[in-house]
Structure 1
Amino acid sequence: MNASEFFALPPSLASFAAHFPPDVAPWEWLKRIGPALAALTEVPATVTVPPGVQVEGKVWLHPSVKLPAYATLIGPAWIGAKTEIRPGAFIRGNVIIGEGCVIGNACEFKNCLLMDGVQVPHFSYVGDSILGNNAHLGAGVICSNLRLDQKPVTVRANGKTYETGLRKFGAILGDAAEVGCNSVLNPGAILGRRALVAPTSAFSGYLPPENVAYCRSQAKILPRRA
């Protein structure tokens, strides 16, 4: 299971490419977000920040980023061109966001990588997670990143169990994957390209590309229609 099966780092994030090789397990990228930001040598652009937007630490903002009247941005963080940050967003360190994303109202982001065109528009938590190009979370989606027993998160996929070595690991969404409103992705949830989790679901495990999961306590996986 390699990162290249789920997404390709877009040109907007080319400066980070050396830190995110395509031939490693996708959860290995989570360990590299902090080092990638620490190695960044470009000088942050001068951007006029509204009085209600609190900025702490190193935060790289492209001049075309749309800022709200109020939000909290704690670095290190890098936010790409034409991304819209909505009121009440809370970015709290080790966050890389690509081009043309929506960072929604009352949403929290921590140690995560969002590629181009990602939309997280309303009331979500995205921690220790990777969202591929054009991935979408409906309102109220939670990427749960800590097991109740606080043991390291394992991934079960294709008849194998992978030891990630990560105590905190939210979700990985492939390109164009979607999650419906008020769903919870349990620690270590992995969605393939264009996979879809239906609204109000609690999803665990691995959802293959082009499939749909309808679940309350147990997933029912069906082929996804075009």
Structure 2
Amino acid sequence: MAHDLCLFLQEAEFPWRVLGKTLTQFIERLVNSVDKNHRINGNVSDYAYFENKDQIVICQGAVVEPGAFIAGPAFIGPHAVVRHGAYIRGSVYVGEGAVVGHTTECKGSILLPFAKAAHFNYIGDSILGYDCNLGAGTKLANLKINHKNIILALDNKKLDTGLKKFGAILGNRAQTGCNSVTNPGTIMLPETILLPNQTALGVIKR
């Protein structure tokens, strides 16, 4: 399954091209490739809540704690953890060993292996890179106040993403401090840091 995700990401001209309906369709294909009788595995609490359960895959070794809510289509990878009070609203891919924590809300997003959103986070239409970490209270805002398309400034040029909902893309091992916020369309390059209580906009470099 990780190989499928890798190919999916490599096919995109820009990383944000995989978001929205494209991501939903990819996860649906991934889920439907798994036998219906073998989609829910791992250590799943009887007190977790599921919506559109036939469109959810939970891999061997994953943990879903009591009180977690998962709506399909969703893919929860091996050894991932979905903690009590987590809210996965659909069209979410959680990679191997990744964490969706207490009161973290996630929709339309990809968490690559070992990405962590462990405490009070909002992840909307975003991609979290390998082993990146969101500090407690980090919000990845995904919608402009005027509801217009997200425009990026790259190489001194303006680029219309074609998306009205686009949160952030965090490179591998990027980190945010507690109570930080990224504006819609923020890109954090690998190993960059957003300090606590700070607001990010545009491309964040080392």
Q: Scaled by the length of structure 1, what TM-score is found?
A: 0.83
Q: Aligned equivalents of 2:28 and 2:66: distance in 1?
A: 28
Shift of 1:16: 3.0
Percent of residue pairs bearing the same amino acid type: 33
Which stretches in structure 1 are left out of the alignment for 5+ residues?
1-11, 212-226
1:70 alignment partner in structure 2: 67
Residues 165, 69 of structure 1: CA spacing in aligned structure 2 closer, same or farther, 3 A cutoff?
same
Take 1:125 and 1:14, find their aligned partners in 2: how far apart are those partners? 27
Amino acid at match of 2:72: G
- Structure 1 stretch displaced more, 150-159 or 36-45: 36-45
What root-mean-square deviation, in Å, do the aligned CA atoms of Structure 1 and Structure 2 show? 1.4
2:66 and 2:12 map into 1 onto residues whose CA distance is 41
Q: Quote the residue 2:15 is aligned against.
A: 26
Shift in alpha-carbon separation, 1:28–1:70, aligned structure 2, 3 A: same
Is the contact between residue 45 and residue 63 of structure 1 (CA under 8 Å) also seen in structure 2? Answer: no
Other structure's SS at 1:20 match: helix
Shift of 1:159: 1.5
Aligned length: 198
Counterpart check, 1:88 vs 2:82: no
Q: Tell me the equivalent position of 2:26.
A: 36
Question: Map of 1:66-215 to 2, 5 A cutoff?
Answer: 66-208=63-205, 211=206
**Greater Cα shift, 54-63 or 114-123:** 54-63
Structure 2, unmatched stretches of 5+, are none
Shift of 1:133: 0.4
Asked whether the equivalents of residues 112 and 130 of structure 2 are also in contact (C-alpha less than 8 Å), the reply is yes
Whole-angstrom CA distance in 2 between matches of 1:130 and 1:46: 24
Q: By how many angstroms is 1:70 displaced?
A: 1.3
* Higher mean C-alpha deviation, range 35-44 or range 197-206: 35-44
Match of 1:49 in 2: 44
Give the strand-richer structure, 1 or 2. 1
User: 1:112–1:23: structure 2 CA closer, same or farther, 3 Å change rule?
Assistant: closer
Using the TM superposition, give the Cα deviation of residue 38 of structure 1 relative to its aligned residue in structure 2, in angstroms: 2.1
Query: Quick one: distance in 2 between partners of 1:17 and 1:172?
Result: 16
Shift of 1:23: 5.6
The code of the aligned residue for 2:182 comes to L
Residue identity matched to 2:49: Q
